[in-house]
Amino acid sequence: MLTNGFFARMIILECGARGAGQDARVMEIPERVAATAKWWKDMMPGNGNLQSWHPVPNVVPQSPDAISILADNRLEAEAEYRKAEEQNDSVGTTVWGRVNEQTRKLALLYAISENHINPTIGTDAANWASTLIMHQTRRMLFMAGSHVAENPYHADCLRLIRKLQAAPDRTLPHSVLLKRMKMNAKMFQEIITTLEQQGDVVPVTGATQGRPSRGYRLVRDWSDA
């Protein structure tokens, strides 16, 4: 799903903890909302008696500033695409390859929400769409890299990284991290060694009740996305 275009066509928005909720109540639909919905329902682009089967799409114009912003967005996405290509990152190339398309879709949605009768993609629409899609693309790729593993061993490495990422100062004592990983000491040490050699984790020393203790700190800031 990460490389067949499915993931690249999605915009995944994360949320915080579930709220307490509220009791349902009957609410009147505002007249403005009902009128706008009816306008969209009745709109038939094109002419002639076959327009229901062969509509002619309306073309929404773009302001000069919006054209420039969307062009810059395309160039930035293409630069990221080339970086992913150089790293043989098939997920990255798949996702970055659709960024400009996603940006233009959102800019269009902004414009027709702002003025459905005579829409124009302006500066606000282009800036909003570009900013949102660039942020979400980086975040989606970060989350995919943090949670999607190529094999069970890789999954355990990512799980250990997430344990440290969630800890204060991205650091945990050896005994605490071992308990949280719920695995035998030999396998745990193999993962620690691998992550140390990759430069992701470093050992740290401290003192507990006057006795020296060891632990591990996440070096790379995996929260950056």
pLDDT of 210: 59
State the pTM of this model: 0.67
Q: Are 107 and 129 in contact (CB under 8 A)?
A: yes
Strands 171-173 and 201-208, sheet pairing = unpaired
The number of distinct structural domains making up the chain is 2
Task: Specify if 158 maps to a domain.
Answer: yes
| 170 and 129 in a common domain | no
| 79 and 157 in a common domain | no
| 187 and 162 in a common domain | yes
Instruction: Tell me the pLDDT band of 42, cut-offs 50, 70 and 90.
Output: confident
Q: Are 121 and 61 in contact (CB under 8 A)?
A: yes
Q: Which residue reads 């629409």 in tokens? A: 125
pLDDT of 2: 67
Q: What tokens appear for 11 in the block?
A: 């915009």
Q: Which domain holds residue 80?
A: 60-148
pLDDT of 208: 60
pLDDT of 165: 87
Nearest Cα to Cα of residue 156 among 127, 184, 134, 175? 184
Task: Specify if 211 maps to a domain.
Answer: yes
CATH number at residue 177: 1.10.10.10
Q: Is the dihedral of CA 14, 97, 8, 54 positive or negative?
A: positive
| 169 and 110 in a common domain | no
Q: Is it the case that residue 224 has pLDDT exceeding 60?
A: no
Q: Is the dihedral of CA 87, 89, 94, 96 positive or negative?
A: negative
| 161 and 124 in a common domain | no
At 90 the three-state DSSP class reads helix
Q: Is it the case that residue 222 has pLDDT exceeding 60?
A: no
- Segment 4-8 shows an average pLDDT of 79
pLDDT of 209: 61
The set of residues, in sequence order, having a beta carbon less than 8 Å from that of 153 and lying 6+ positions away, is: 191
Q: What tokens appear for 158 in the block?
A: 């990512």
Per-residue pLDDT tens digits for 118-127: 999 999 999 9
Q: Is it the case that residue 225 has pLDDT exceeding 50?
A: no
In the 8-state DSSP scheme, what is residue 14?
Answer: -
Per-residue pLDDT tens digits for 75-92: 999 999 999 999 888 888
Per-residue pLDDT tens digits for 189-213: 999 999 999 888 999 987 666 567 8
